[in-house]
Structure 1
Amino acid sequence: MKRLPFLAAAVALLASTPACAIVGGAEPAAGAISHSVVTIVGSRATFCTGSLIAPSLVLTVAHCVQPGADYKIVRYGADRKPELEDVKSVAIHPGFRMAEMLAHRATADVALLRLVIPASGKIPARLATPRAPLAPGNPFTIAGVGVTIRGDGRSAGIIRAAHLVATGKPGTLQIRLVDPAGHGTQAGLGACTGDSGAPVFEDQSAGSAIIGVVSWSTGPNGSAGCGGLTGVTPLTLYRDWILQTARQWGFAL
């Protein structure tokens, strides 16, 4: 961990970015969800969410860690002052296509970050095991670190969680989540810009486990913004790549 030239820019980003995150979400109770979520900042003023799946291994989305920039993990001390932890390597799934993601179509929006040292104060989350086909109404929990009020960056950096349900025809290519109160037709709970890469948890027999990552969001009725649909890239088709990449880096998941 060390202070780098873009630390000041990262701090300013966390304080002023007019991006939305989990609107209306609440701070999660202590456990796998709250202890695994991390903040990712980039030298090009990018701001995303990731989740620890091994002491020095972070899962996020490919569109958050594109080549040509440096990326760091933000650590908050007891006084809430941010420090940066170094990223040693970035692996982006070779099947990722940015144009598909921007059009809200299914693509391999998955990436891994290898840290120089283990993330302090964090506990890795477990990847979900394959399960029976998903169905509309299945419950999930998302957790991210973006701002919680649209246009108010002062709320950034706090982990917030929201309970959503699957809509449409969820499957191995894409899952679309909505607030069960409004079903995406009116503003409600949901992810937005700062939550890209956020883990999507499902309760399984062994406890909460990551089933996917947040890729995109819309406002109500498909409008621009957030609080409508939350688009998730499920890990089913990419689990082998994650495990293989982790093994190449010396991690056993």
Structure 2
Amino acid sequence: MICRRLALVLATAIAAGAPPAHAVVGGATSQDVRGARASTLRVETSRGELCSGAAIAPELVLTAAHCLMGGGAVSVVSLDPRFRTRRHAVVAVLPHPTFVPGTTPRTQPGTDLAMLRLAAPLPTDIVPVTLGGGLWQGESVSMAGFGLSIENNKNTARRLRETRLVNAGNYTTQNTVKVAVDAEGRGESPGAGACRGDSGGPVLRGDIRSRDLVGIVSWSSGPLNSRERRICGGFTAITPIAEHRSWISETAARLLAMGPNPRQLEPQPPSAGYSWWFSR
């Protein structure tokens, strides 16, 4: 269990409106060809939403459901071995059936996961991650994303960055997430963590070269001891993979069975009312 003080801090942050995590503050620019570049993707919508995602198969990307709340066409960007961008069309989107759109974790219940089906397989230099097991408190993890490195500077987004964090335990509001913190700041002082643009980014067990996916970034909040209100560099909330392996596996199989024409699959709207749609 997460410590009582940390739980109180998080409750306060969420009540104040902790936003979804869209970039890595306090992290390092990814430069390793076999590192985060090989599995972390940029997810963009035609309405200006920026998120991150994890390749879990040549034609499938796992991301955060809240990234798709605004609708619009979705595309995915990968980096080649020279870190040049390549854009890939998305033909189908499926959020987790329990997800309900909201503006804060408290008003956004359900599982913050969504899966994207690409029009064609990703290039062979992209190496999909595998679904890992559960996380334990105190475990070291790595995260990567395309978000902001400076909280109030939008120009710092769209560059792949990575950092190491420590899993501090569970936190439950409308759903249960894992909360990771900077190893030194521990969520009390500014440190590394998710920021705007990192939502949907992969959380990997151990080193950034790992292909063991244990979570997807959902939201973030600032540190406890800050003179100004922050939304980054304190706590990184992670939707754990282990609890949702069945949905991921079943959804992957269903999307891969669609064939070349996505419209041949009859859409089944999630119970939460979030629209399943296919791109035109």
Bin the TM-score by the shorter chain: 0.7 to 0.9
Tell me, in whole angstroms, the C-alpha distance in 1 between the residues paired with 2:34 and 2:107. 31
Say if 1:107 and 1:233, in contact at 8 Å, map to a contact too: no
Give the TM-score normalised by structure 2. Answer: 0.72
Partner of 1:14: none
AA in 1 matched with 2:192: L
Q: Structure 1: which 5+ residue stretches go unaligned?
A: 1-18
Tell me, in whole angstroms, the C-alpha distance in 1 between the residues paired with 2:103 and 2:146. 25
- Mapping for residues 1-253 of structure 1, pairs under 5 Å: 21-28=23-30, 29-31=32-34, 33-66=36-69, 68-76=71-79, 82-99=85-102, 102-103=105-106, 107-120=110-123, 121-128=125-132, 130-131=133-134, 134-135=136-137, 137-169=138-170, 173-203=176-206, 207-221=210-224, 223-250=229-256
> Identity percentage over the alignment?
34
Tell me, in whole angstroms, the C-alpha distance in 2 between the residues paired with 1:34 and 1:104. 33
Partner of 1:6: none
The verdict on how the C-alpha distance between 1:77 and 1:142 changes in structure 2, with shifts beyond 3 A counting, is closer
The verdict on how the C-alpha distance between 1:20 and 1:70 changes in structure 2, with shifts beyond 3 A counting, is closer
Say if 2:165 and 2:182, in contact at 8 Å, map to a contact too: yes
Superposed CA RMSD in Å reads 2.9
Aligned length: 229
AA in 1 matched with 2:163: A
The verdict on how the C-alpha distance between 1:106 and 1:139 changes in structure 2, with shifts beyond 3 A counting, is farther
Q: CA deviation at 1:249?
A: 2.1
Tell me, in whole angstroms, the C-alpha distance in 2 between the residues paired with 1:75 and 1:198. 13
Q: Structure 2: which 5+ residue stretches go unaligned?
A: 1-20, 258-280
Say if 1:106 and 1:173, in contact at 8 Å, map to a contact too: no
Tell me, in whole angstroms, the C-alpha distance in 2 between the residues paired with 1:166 and 1:76. 28
Helix, strand or coil: the match of 1:220?
coil
Q: CA deviation at 1:79?
A: 8.4
Tell me, in whole angstroms, the C-alpha distance in 2 between the residues paired with 1:103 and 1:74. 30
AA in 2 matched with 1:157: R
Say if 2:42 and 2:53, in contact at 8 Å, map to a contact too: yes
Say if 1:38 and 1:74, in contact at 8 Å, map to a contact too: yes
Helix, strand or coil: the match of 1:192?
coil
Helix, strand or coil: the match of 2:130?
coil
Partner of 2:262: none
Say if 1:52 and 1:125, in contact at 8 Å, map to a contact too: yes
CA deviation map 1:222-247 (0-9, x unaligned): 95410000011101221101100111
Helix, strand or coil: the match of 2:98?
coil
Helix, strand or coil: the match of 1:193?
coil
Tell me, in whole angstroms, the C-alpha distance in 1 between the residues paired with 2:59 and 2:77. 13
